[in-house]
Structure 1
Amino acid sequence: MILYTFPLLMVLAFLLLTLLLGLYVSKKEITYREYAVGNKRFHTTTLVFTVLATTFGGGIIMSGVPNIYAIGMKFIVFSFIMALVFYTISLLGLRMGAFMKHFSIAETIGSIYGKYPRAIAAVLGTCLSIAVVTIQINVMSFAIGMCIDSINPRTLTVLATLVLIAYAMLGGVRAIAITDVLQCITFIVIMALLIKFLFIKTGKSFLEVVLLLQQQEKFQFSSFFQVNRNLLMLVLNGLWLAFLLPIPAIQRVYTASSPIQAYKIFLRVTLFSIIIIGGVVSISLLIFIKNPTLLQTEIWPYILADMSPAYKGCIVICLLGMTMSTADSNLHAVSILVSHDIVECIRGIKVASHIHQLRLAKLTVLVTGLLAMIAAVYYPDIFQLCIYINSYIAVAFGDTVIPPFILAIFGFRGSSRTALIGMAVGILFDVAWDQWVKPEIEISAGCLPMVANGLAMMAAHYLLPQPEGKGWIGKNDQQKRMEQLIRAFKRYKKNIDLR
């Protein structure tokens, strides 16, 4: 009996440790700025783990392992695009000096294009984050039910959700960042143990594993270059993913103390993301070596079939930690978008009382978290609906918000009309593609609506009359100094390596 309840005890201990750590960080009174961005006093390593924990949710392993197993090299290459995305963000971070005092992407959009584009970005960002929270709670419930038979998964899911709501509501971004460090380290350690377990289960040496994989056509690198509809779809979706993935990650740029720190954070995240994605790929490949005839739905039951209760407890903690870290970051994003961006768009001025703003942010976390928990736990059929809604909101967010945001980072200062025209063109292009083009060629639009958005903004800017002061601006002195420092550091590092 004790043996079968051991995974439950492990999960309860992990939740208790997470709660105590989160409440310890939350014990002092904080201002709204501390709640939103932690006064920008985070260590670089802390923010690295936070970005990793926020991006790599439990769904990365739950869905990534079966997809790599079934699709092969194409999905592996698709997965590693994420690392390239982080490197791109590191370069963008160097140019965000003018926006480092902001709290969100919506505020940055508003500072350049005005109130209405900011409101659109805030509303879409809020809907997207709420859908992500609901999905993560569903993944949490599924993982618990898959590994622990001694208790109703709803009970543990409700408990885990209440824990993350508690520290996210009371401590803000600082409590989230510290608990994310614990959750991310736990995830990496347990993933390494799972790889070791599966490698031993194959009963083969490393060389034998490599030779067997070389004999499988779908895992050969040459299969990626077979030009067909699937490859074209992969390229378009990969580029779309490259623009869309920064949504949760870019929020952490605002918690950095400077563009230089943001650059360092995402350079290190790039390296660690390659390691984590490599771990997920390794899990899939080892399962394929042991049994290449499984269906995608049979993969996780197969992994857990011969696993000891202790290992099952580790798997639950691993998935639980990453789903909680993704959910708490999205809850925090919703609280900032509602209490800061949406409220200011409605009022037309900044909120006078930071105390009221802080209370509204905490209330938003509480209400949003509880509603997402009720929807996910007591209406499990809502999972597919949330996936469906999330995909459309994510597309809408990418088509409307990302292009003007990137143009702003690169020095474009457009009017509100220019941004709204670009947003409308991006949405209309996507709708038209789905209505008339996709049924003919069976390829989704991918990143093309974003390109249409950017081109429409440029056309509107140059063809329509614009207010004074709108247009492109050059690099400011701070950006030039940062680029000089980076070049000097690279030269110094190169000289050290030569010695």
Structure 2
Amino acid sequence: MSVLNIPLLMVGGFLLLTLGIGVFFTRISTSFREYVLGDQALNTAPLIGTLLALIYGGGRLMIGVEQIHNFGILWVIFMLLSSFLPYWVISWLALHMRPFMRNLSMSESISRVYGQYPRIVASLSNICFSIVTIAIQVNVMSRSIGMCIDWVHPSMITLFVSLILFFYSRIGGIRIITFTDITQTFVFFLIIPFLAFSIFEATGKPEILAFSATQENFQFDKLFQVEPKKLTILTLFLSSLVAGINPPTIQKIYMSANCLQASMVFFFASFLSLFVSFFIILLGLYTYVAAPDLLVEGVWSYIMAHISPICKGFVVMSLLTMAMSTADAYLNSCSVMFSNDIVCSIMNKKSVPYHRQLRWARLTALCIGIITILLSLYCSDLFVLLQLRFDCFIPIVTAPFILAVLGFRGSSRSALIGMATGMLTILAWNKWIEPVTAMNGAFMAMLANGLVMVVVHYLLPKGKK
């Protein structure tokens, strides 16, 4: 058996195991609500597991390790803070979501307050956001399998992993995704500490603190100096603070039995998320200390070259686990938003036969899959895709949703004007400000959206919702 076959066989066995678990737990849904949310009878622990699987996509591991070489201590602080603060925010918001607990999607909650047209705009924005997120995960899966197979063209790998991914979303709805997520989270929690320890051993047990003290990127006394890199990280952190308020994540609230359970799920998940981030940071630090002059693009190649074939198989399994569990949730969310929030709104029907909604959802998954493959082949830079992911929905959807949850009851007009303001702000920012400063403008555009909504609501004559 050649060395390259060991990780390949490990990955193949893992994919078959995940497939078998998914098929075993598949149950034909009897309603579209069950297809979207399951039976809403999950205990807190499984909900935490499926939430963690959603949070930690493969992009988060791959980018998290790579960017330590680029940003140093700034990225470490960013990783730590963004691992728990966003989910504390959602935990608090969940306590205020009692009026929306019977909704199927984030867009449906928006429509309860602002009406039909903001619902359609929010759905289109969130679908774009989901497409970019899935593209990140497909790129991660392609690069992961490419670490095992170097004799297949990358585009063929992209197509193969996309087909695996789309299978999960089509056959069983959220139920199969939930059970495969729980399995993948268990595998991931076993592998990440093992991987960090393996790199620690393979790189000669580096002295992190002593070495970091000599590196400019890790000087604590320079943290408060204004530099372009610091501004880049600051704006990314502000965007990440609200990036968790997205359709698949909010869907975990709708899947909960009540607001209190939903709040507990996010609160406890934030601590486990911090645990995972700690080991991702360690992995990045070990690699940085061992090879500080590496380019960002060469970080994972260096890691794979300095570990055993078995450990290499575990690395690829970990990346695949994270990427698949995140991507299938977003693909399912896209299907729901198109069939439930766009088609039903355009048809102006509150009730559509289940078999028809299911057909629309599966057709949407196929179309989204094709678009995702094209985007993945067009752009493979994960950091660029990460920023594009923020820009697609935070400026448009986040402010109206937060205001609605907190009790703001604006009109459809105020919501549409706010959404248009957010969209124009991020377009202007990306054209004139971002190229000069490298600062992400999604959070600023969200603030502009919310401010304009409130001003329009209170200053302009009240119209019909």
TM-score (norm 2): 0.92
Deviation track 1:317-374 (CA, whole Å, cap 9, x = no partner) reads 111111111110111011100110001221112233122112322332244335534x
Distance in 1, matches of 2:269 and 2:357, equals 32
Give runs of aligned pairs for residues 274-313 of structure 1, distance below 5 A.
274-313=274-313
SS at match of 1:265: helix
> What is residue 212 of structure 1 aligned with on the other side?
211
Unaligned runs of 5+ in 2: none
The whole-number CA distance in structure 1 between the counterparts of 2:196 and 2:343 is 47
Report deviation, 1:21. Answer: 0.8
Other-structure match for 1:36: 36
Which residue does 1:202 correspond to in 2? 203
Give the secondary structure class of the aligned counterpart of 2:379.
helix
Between 436-445 and 185-194, report the one with greater CA deviation.
Answer: 436-445
- The residue number in structure 2 matching 1:491 is none
Say if 2:142 and 2:161, in contact at 8 Å, map to a contact too: no
Q: RMSD in angstroms over aligned alpha carbons?
A: 2.5
Distance of aligned partners of 1:2 and 1:27 in 2 relative to their CA distance in 1, 3 Å threshold: farther
Partner of 2:399: 403
Shift of the 295–440 alpha-carbon distance from structure 1 to 2, 3 Å rule, reads closer
AA paired with 2:277? Answer: I
Deviates more, 1:400-409 or 1:425-434: 425-434
Aligned residues of 1:23 and 1:167 also touching (Cα < 8 A): no
TM-score (norm 1): 0.86
Whether the aligned pair in 2 keeps the contact of 1:144 and 1:157 (CA below 8 Å) is no
The 1:445/1:131 distance shift into structure 2, 3 A limit, reads closer
Asked whether the equivalents of residues 96 and 405 of structure 2 are also in contact (C-alpha less than 8 Å), the reply is yes
Structure 1 residues 442 and 13, CA, compared in 2 at 3 Å: closer, same or farther? closer
Provide the residue aligned with 2:237 in structure 1: 238
**1:447 aligned residue:** 443
Q: Which residue of 2 aligns with 1:258?
A: 258
Percent identical pairs in the alignment equals 38
Give the C-alpha shift of residue 152 in structure 1: 5.9
Residue of structure 2 in register with 1:11 after alignment? 11
**Deviates most, 80-89 or 402-411:** 80-89
Say whether the 8 Å CA contact 1:5–1:150 is kept in structure 2. no
What pairs up with 1:151-166 in 2 under 5 angstroms? Answer: 158-166=159-167
Contact 2:7 2:312 in 1 (8 A): yes
CA distance 1:372–1:454, shift in 2 (3 Å): closer
Residue in structure 2 matched with residue 482 of structure 1 by the alignment? none
**1:198-220: per-residue Cα shift (whole Å, max 9, x none)?**
11123337xx4333333434224
Distance 1:443 1:365, change over 3 A: closer
| Corresponding letter in the other structure for 1:234 | I
1:423 Cα deviation after fit: 1.2
For residue 458 of structure 1, the aligned residue among 450, 454, 458 is 454
Residue 147 of structure 1: SS of its match in structure 2? coil
SS in 1 for 2:144: helix
TM-aligned CA deviation for residue 70 of structure 1: 2.6
Structure 2 partner of 1:333: 333
Ranges in structure 1 where 5+ consecutive residues have no aligned partner: 471-499
Change in 2 beyond 3 A, CA 1:388/1:291? closer
Shift in alpha-carbon separation, 1:80–1:95, aligned structure 2, 3 A: same
Distance 1:389 1:271 in 2: 27
Preserved CA contact (<8 Å) 1:44 1:261: yes
Measure the CA separation in 2 of the matches of 1:328 and 1:438: 31
Stretch moving more, 325-334 or 59-68: 59-68
Structure 1 position 34, deviation (Å): 0.9
1:74-473 correspondence to structure 2 within 5 Å: 74-82=74-82, 83-149=84-150, 158-204=159-205, 208-247=207-246, 248-369=248-369, 372-373=372-373, 375=374, 381-384=377-380, 391-392=387-388, 394-437=390-433, 443-467=439-463
Number of residue equivalences: 463
Instruction: Give the drift of 1:300.
Output: 1.3
Check the 8 A contact 1:128/1:390 in 2, yes or no: no
Change (3 A) 1:280 1:384: same
Separation (CA, whole Å) in 2 of partners of 1:384 and 1:114: 37
Give 1:134 shift: 2.8
- Whether the 8 Å contact between 2:129 and 2:392 is mirrored in structure 1 is no
Distance 1:405 1:362, change over 3 A: same
User: Offset of 1:414 from its aligned partner?
Assistant: 0.8
Please name the residue that 1:477 is paired with.
none
Q: Residues 425 and 118 from structure 1, CA distance in 2 versus in 1: closer, same or farther, beyond 3 angstroms? A: same
From the CA coordinates, give the structure whose radius of gyration is larger: 1
* AA partner of residue 461 (structure 1): H
CA distance in 2, matches of 1:265, 1:169: 27
Q: Which amino acid aligns with 2:272?
A: F
Partner-residue secondary structure (3-state), 2:210: helix
Q: State how far apart, in whole Å, the 1-side matches of 2:294 and 2:454 are.
A: 50
Structure 1: distance between partners of 2:298 and 2:433: 35
* Shift of residue 440, structure 1, vs aligned partner: 6.4
Distance 2:155 2:360 in 1: 29
Query: 1:479 — aligned with what?
Result: none
Letter in 2 for 1:198: I
